[in-house]
Structures are given as structure tokens and as C-alpha cells.
Amino acid sequence: MTSVLAFDIGASSGRALIGTLTDGRLLVEEIHRFPNEPVQVGGRLYWDILRLYHEIKQGMVKAKLLGCSPASMGIDSWAVDFGLLDSTGELLGNPRHYRDHRTDGMMEEVFALVPRHEIFRQTGIQFLPFNTIYQLYALVKTNPSLLARANRFLMIPDLFRYFLTGEIRNEFTNATTTQLYNPALGTWDGTLLDRLGIPRHLFGEPARPGTVVGSLLPSVCDELGVPPMPVIAVAEHDTASAVAAVPAQSGDFAYLICGTWSLMGTETAGALINDRVLELNFTNEGGVGDTFRLLKNIMGLWIVQECRREWEKEGEPVSLEEMVLASGQAKPFTSFIDPDHLMFLNPAHMPAQIQAYCRETGQTVPADRSAILRCAFESLALKYRYVLERTEALTGKRFSGLHMVGGGIHNPLLCQFTASAIQRPVWAGPAEASAIGNILVQYMTLGRISGIREARKIVRDSFPVQTYLPEEQSLWDEAYGRFLRVTGLG
């Protein structure tokens, strides 16, 4: 049996998993899990990148102790963030967290140099204040000496691959998220870089998913006591990996990647760039097999996670099961929020922010934990309906249901709310979609899987899927109308 090693690093935790493919079925075993907690220093928010690299090495050691000698390894992570190397290959400081405030006001400054519609026409990427383009422009404005010292730009998985192999390569799916990649050109948009004063030489030709970018350095092998191993550039944006693992039977399907962020959309043969996509602020990100992902970012379970974190700080910890139970017992459809309002991006106190939003929009203010959670879960489900309807409008397609993957499927209440809100079935599973997609691309590279169609069949044959059917459709219809009114989305 040939096994592979996958590292799936999300915005709040990371994990190492061994994948083993036997007779058309995939077995995935988690062997190492670790927190990913940002560090605040002097008002700036950083990723603890060397700690994360240490945890990757610990995952490799654990694989060795289990007697596993993987045929390859791959890494996926969140998008937009990056590190810079100098001419000697040294990392220039810890990568900043996308919720760091250095990008405050940067979108507007960039638009003064390059109009919004031009950026979209060249990149096809939705406008979010933390996109890589605005992070780099913040360096142009506030720390030009750092850019002057920089020799190469590497996104988070690129950086880990560099530490492991010494090879400096960018990867396609993550590159497309930066709002600096031009899908029509098939590479970085040099004209856009020039107009913003971002040096072109920082960016290398992106490797496609499934490219072997190098092998473990001898120093890494000696340190860890492991043999040389190919390191594959998988679909390194975790959303791209997750979409590769959606167990769809046809090419026309809608997906919801549900975790800290929610990402909803569909797979397309090419980037869809027109005025309506711009107006709705959808995005076109690269996928596996020369596909694109037409999707929209939704704030997701970050809102609930932050509520939980605040309650824990106040000495009242609450489990996921308790949150689901409490929200299920609260009065339905009392108040709503727009999960994507900027006031929820990085507030000082999430529960108070939810209450403030309801107060400012003239709604009943949720007074306790259960009401706050109910408001959050219902609002997420209704926002999913809003985005699904617009995905269909952009593509001219009607989807029979929604594939829901990622850690959010462990919340049966949210899955049921989503089915009821969209008035269609929700097919929930698998939970570890990003890691599974990472593993599948490795097997495709090794020649064990012929392509994405076979990969998705393997997912269907290997992992259970829970079906949720709509309930109380008239009540959810009425709630959706009120949601649109109070959020101003109608």
C-alpha cells in the first residue's frame, strides 16, 4: 500500500493526516493536530510561522514512529498571506495576519491609482480589505525599505515548501487569490504591479496543482531521521483542495465550504469576468485541472468562534454541543445580522457587536447566549440562500441541492437551517475535505488516480454523506424577506 502525508493548516488549527488508497477507497488517519494562534505584538497581528513549521516537522516524525514511509507530502493552507525572502533566502520578518489593521484604508488608496473596475477586469477577484494586493500596497506606503530588501514573495504553503526543500516556487491556486494574477494572461499582472509600485521580480511563475517542486533537504532528513520524500505543490489554497474533494456526480454542482470562513460557489471551466460578477462582488479563483471556482466569501463560523472565545475569557466556557443545544431552544427568527458586515471582521467583543448591529437596525436585541447564537446561525443560513441564488443568476444554472463540506458539518443545526433556508437538500460530508483534496492531488501526481472525476468517485465511495431536507418552508421564506430588509440586501 502506498501512503501519502498531507498537512492541512487552517486559520485556527492545523493537522497532519496519512492517506492510504486501496481498491478504490481512501482511508484517512489524523496523526497530529495543533493550534494556529496569531500573536499580537505592539498592535500588530502576526502568524507564528516558525511554530507552525515546527509542528509540520512533528507531524513527519509521528508518521515515522507509526512506521509510515509516505510516497510524497503536500501542504494546503488559507490564502492571501505571505512572507518575503531577501537575496540570501532569509525570511524578512514574521508574516502578518490578514486581520491585521495595516490594510485599513488601503483599498481606497489603491482605487485612486487603479480604478476598481480595472482591477476586477484584470484579475476577476472579489474585493476584500485584506487581499494580498492591499497588504503589499500597505508595505509600499508604510515600509518601502522592506520591499526594497525583498527578493521573492512566497505565500504560506510556498514558504513551508521552501523551508523543507530549499526550492522557491509559487503555486497557482493560491496565486489567483492575491488579486494580482491575471487569468487571461495565465500569470501575474505586471502592469498592475507597476502601477502600484510593487516590484515584479518578487513573483515567480506559478506551479500548477500536482507539480513536484522538490525533495526534502538532506538537513531536514538528518534532523528528523526520515528518508528523502517528494514534496508536491497540491491545490495549496485549502478551498481549492476542498472543492476537489466535493463528492459531486456531475460537473454542475454548488458547494459550501463551511469552516472559520464559508465559501459558496460552483466550478467553472474558466474565469467569469463581467459587470454583473463585479457588482455582486464574486470571485474567480484557480482550481484543480485548469478549472476556476466562481464563489463568494462569507464570514462563516468565525462569528460563532469569536463569541465562544469571549465567553471563555469571561470564565464561562461553552462546547459546540452546548451552543447547538442552546441555539436550538431559543425563539426563532427574532433578529438577523449580515455576517459580512465589516463590523464583524475583527471586533473587540463579538457578542456585543451582534447586539449593537441588531440595535442599530431597529430589531429586538438578543439578550442572552442562546439568542445570540440563534441569530448567528439563522443569519448564516439565510446568507447562504442569498449567495446561492446569485450564483445561479450568474451561471444561468439551477442547482438541485448543495454539497456542504468542512468542519461546519459537525453542526447539525446549521446544516438543517441551511437546507430549510435554501429549500433544497443539503448533502453534508466529508468534514476533512481540504485534507482529502490535498491527498487526492498527490495520488493524481503519483499516477494512482486518473483525474478529478475518478477522485470524486473515490470520495463518494469512501466517506459518508448525511442528507438534510428542508423543513418549515413558509416560515423560512418569511424570515428571508425580513433578513433582506433589515440587512439592506433586498
Residues labelled as active-site residues: 238
Give pairs for 32-39: CB < 8 Å, separation 24+: 32/58, 32/59, 32/62, 34/58, 36/9, 36/10, 36/11, 36/12, 37/12, 38/97, 38/99, 39/94
Work out the number of other CB atoms within 10 angstroms of the CB of residue 450. Answer: 10
**Phi and psi, residue 336, nearest 5°:** -135, 155
Grid coordinates of 348: 473587540
Sign of CA dihedral 403, 407, 408, 413: positive
The β-bridge partners of 28 are 19
Sign of CA dihedral 189, 190, 194, 195: negative
Give the three-state DSSP class for 86: coil
One-letter amino acid identity for 173?
Answer: T
Grid coordinates of 224: 528528523
Q: How far apart are CA 106 and CA 304, in angstroms?
A: 28
* Residues with Cβ within 8 Å of residue 222, at least 6 apart in sequence: none
Q: Give the H or E element holding residue 156.
A: helix 156-165
Q: Give the H or E element holding residue 147.
A: helix 144-149
Judge whether 107 and 113 are in contact, CB under 8 Å.
no
Counting every residue written for the chain, the total comes to 490
Grid coordinates of 279: 457588482
Q: How far apart are CA 180 and CA 308, in angstroms?
A: 35
- Nearest residue to 72 (alpha-carbon basis) of 464, 488, 451, 445: 445
